[in-house]
Structure 1
Amino acid sequence: MRSSLAARMFAYFVIVIVISSSIVGFVLYVQSSKEVDKQTNELLTQIVDNAMNHTDMYLKKYDRATLSMLTSTNVKEFLNTDKNNFVSYFLAIRPIKEKVIQPLFINNPEISMVYLIGYNGLSIYDHNTDVIDFNQSVFQDKLDVLKKMTNNDGKLTIMDWSFLDGKLAVTRKISDRQTSKVFKGIVGIELNIEELTTLWKGIRLGETGYFYIVNDNGKIVYHPKAEMIGKQLNEGLLTKLKENQNRIFTYTDGIERVHFNQRSNYSGWTLVASMPLNELKAPVKNIRKTTLITCAFALVLALILAYRFGRSIVQPIKKLESGMRRTEKGDWTHVAISGRTDEMDRLIVSYNMMVSRLQELMEQVYAEELKNKEYQLKRQAAEFQALQLQINPHFLYNTLETIVCYAVVQDSQEIKEIVRSLSYMLRYSIRADLEEITVANELKHVLQFMTIMDYRLGHPFELEVLIPPELLLKKMVRLTLQPLVENIFKHAFPEGIESYHRIRIDAYTENEDFVVTVTDNGCGITPDTLKELRTKLMKQHLHSPFPERKEREGGIGLVNVHSRIQIVFGENYGLSITNNEGEPGTKITLRMPDKTGDIGFSP
């Protein structure tokens, strides 16, 4: 089953478009997903970092507040007071409250209570809000617990319980000397947790994302849901937090959520940002959906354009094919052009001109043979050839020979010479078995061309052939000289051919090379055009022997001659172009290997 050109072209277009669209879509989706994940990671890291820095800075304020108590003389005397000396104890309470505790309340209104518990069995406390009084002995009851839970290095400790409900407690061990590590008491501050939560309420993590804080024991210090504060975090989640410090991980507790956490070395708290996985992946899903829709739309549009493009190419070819089939059957059919003036239209125009000329030629042959029955057999042979070899160069050659016969009969010397020369040139051109030819044969081809040109010009134009006789049997590439001479007639004499115009062909050997030059005294080549021609010759190499279409439309062309020499003799040989030094005109040089042979040719 034969597949049509249109179907193959459309299939190729589909394959190319699908592959390219898939690659672009896949790369775009993967790269976009990576960028979204990267930005999400950076966002969560920045949120947690900022929250941790603000929290540490806020807590350090109370670190500085407790340091003021360490330098107080009244506090030092209180720590060294004998618990049985009630007079000294009661005398110490007032100045400590007025000079130490009250300034803390004034500077930090969020502090609810400040207490000082000595290891000597004495304690002092004061509060900044309406607090139900409780027995002061509770401080001594909790002294052992406070000693155990408060850091032994004298640094601030954040407790996970407080004497007042709903308060955040910080404690510190103190001594009667600032540099001493022999502690004699504990100072504690309890503050409203609501004041601290104002640092975190501005954090937004999507619609259902949230930010929370837990201490090392897994107790929730802060949570957007007030009822969660003070509760114990899920043991499995707490373990994952400790195992994945500074990393994003997922944890499923009802729904799959993404967590990112960092632990503050100062406070010992772990700050956690949590978002649902499906909400986090929503941008990626949107990118994937958008990419698929865009690719699908682009694919449909590209397929429509591919179909129209393929059809615009195939339709003229089908019309040309149909015309050829009808011509094969003897119906000299002209193919209608589309009117786009592109390459296909030019091909159709050339085909129509060829059909018209063949038709005219056949009509002339038929008319002449009908006049003379002597040529009936030849007419039938010509008709048979026309049916069998409609567009065959050999058929054209045979037809030209027939015209020569008629010219002889009609005693038309001019027609005979023109057609005989054209016939020779045609047969010489279509020979595919002789790439290397002698210089003599190539010059004979040039002379046949000049015979035609003399009739076209209306007067003789003599070539100067200065090739020594001993070089006439040197080998060169067939169809190289005549295109150069034709090119000179086309471009070197734009104002018309005058009597002083000349074309000179010369040859010589140089080292192991055989060199042929064709020189004219015409208008020469402009520098820009010369540069362009040299660039084309440099780009042309052995494995790309076919010149651009622009060259082929003007004839065999200089690039084609250059390519033919390289095909036969190799890339070290070819054609070069220069302007004549000190005089008008152009010089074209053909360089080939120095070979001599007995190649023959019969027209």
Structure 2
Amino acid sequence: MSHNFRENKIIRFFLMMDRPLFQRMLVIFTVIVIVPLITVGAISYVHSSNELQDEAKEYNSLIIEQVKTYIEDYIWDYEISTLKIVNHPDTIEFLRMNSSEEIEESGITQSIINVLRNEAYSQSDIANITLVLDDISIVDSAGIVDESTAASLRQTSWYYSITGMARPTIISRVIDWHGNERPVISVVKRIVNPRTLQPFGMLIIDLNYQRVNDVARKISPGNTGYFFITDQEGHYIYHPNSKKIGEEHNEKHWKEIEDKQSGSYVSSDKNPDLITYSESKQLGWTLATTIPYHEVTQGIEYIKKIILKTIVISLIIVIVIGYSFSSNLLRPIRRLKDSVSWVDEENFSLRVPVESKDEIGQLTEGFNNMMDRISSLVEEVYIAQIKEAELQLLQKDTELKALQSQMDPHFLYNSLETIRGMALESNRDDIATISASMGKLLRYNLKEQSKVVDIKNEIEMSMLYLKIQKYRFNEKIEYQINMPEWCWRQKIARFSLQPLIENAVIHGAEPSTAPIVIEVTAEKDSENTFVLLIKDTGVGMTKDDKKLRRIDLKQKDVSNGGSHIGMVNVHRRNQLVFGKEFGLVIKKSDKSGTIIGICLPYEEME
């Protein structure tokens, strides 16, 4: 109890429920204006921040894509050089040599060196061109390689991994250039033996970094940002600081971009950077730019200061306007409050003059309407009390009639038993049988019991009805009950079968001049449903009648009565008991007869 009291007290405090309306309106008015203003300011700040960051990402992505396209085209231009060398007549003859002795005897080595030098001298970016025949010979344009160089090449991780014989492979490595280490970009093409068509050598074109440096120097992301390139292993292929070429990129940063095609992210370092990257699938490289994050967000600080100044100025203006507005608004409300005291004196005839058409005027008009309504309600309550008394009298009369109606079936039962007794005394067994059957049908129909029964019960009652009709029609009606064993204990809405058999008699047998057969059977429709079928060989229905009956099953209101009400009644009751998917269906009706089905749920019986 005390806990709830404290909660209510806190709620009342925050809602200012015990403060004057003037103060509450001033605070609420301020909150309503300032909170959206702060919200809009915060959203604008975040949006501006994201926009600036997105612009930086988009700008850097555009630069990277342009550089990537240029470098890809530049590198792959050297594929033509590899083709020129490989298809040169001297190279073809050289590739046909099977041993180093054969090469020496032919004197072709110098010719191959000339071929390589001519291609190397034709383009200033080429540092060296090397042609290797596995375990046979190695030749280069610069004259800086020997057999030990060939052996060291074969020990590299990439040498035997290059198996493709179509397009060359691009790798970055460091070569020994006259005693100095020199980073190069190598265009590597696997050579095949023209006789066996098996790979047995390698053509390597080493490119210096002059062209890449020229392009990279033109890229200036931000004030202090830079451009770099890494290979598939995360080693620098290009970096503004040439000493870092060949070193591993920051491991934590490499995990962010590894196995990703393109994108950008903000590093989680103490001084974060905005890193934008894109992978070249042709080269297997990743091109990226790095910009200090504070450079990206410089403009955001200015926006933040403007937003804060706007909020402070707006707050002052809101307080001044709110004070004036609240004072003017509350003045007519106080007058209306004084008028409410009239109701305490049960004076419903007085009205407050409406002096304006604004909300206060509408409130005043509403007060006057309320007074009119109260006066009207007082009169309505008096009339309602009179009607209630009349309703109670009518209810008692209805109960009396209901009790009387309960006596009517007993009178009918006794009358039928009297007829049966008199028939037996006069040896009229047929009349006695008809009276007994009618009595049983009447009891089954009128006595209170469950809404659903076994089909066996329905069959028994229907056979009583058919026995009566047999006396009437003699040989004109024959009936057959062909029920499978599984069907006897299945459920059906009580008193569903007899009305349908009665329809078969009235609409099938009576109009017919020939004898008819009425058959009751059942068949499974699916795992969970079966259909109880009532067949007759009577005159059937016309197409129009059949269409009308189907419309009745969907739309007809049984409370309105009319013809064929029995079919609609049976249909509705089975739907109410088992569900909308069940009920009557007209399977067939033509000159050869009619088949009416009742679709019912199937239950597996033990």
TM range (shorter): 0.3 to 0.5
TM-score, L = length of structure 1 = 0.48
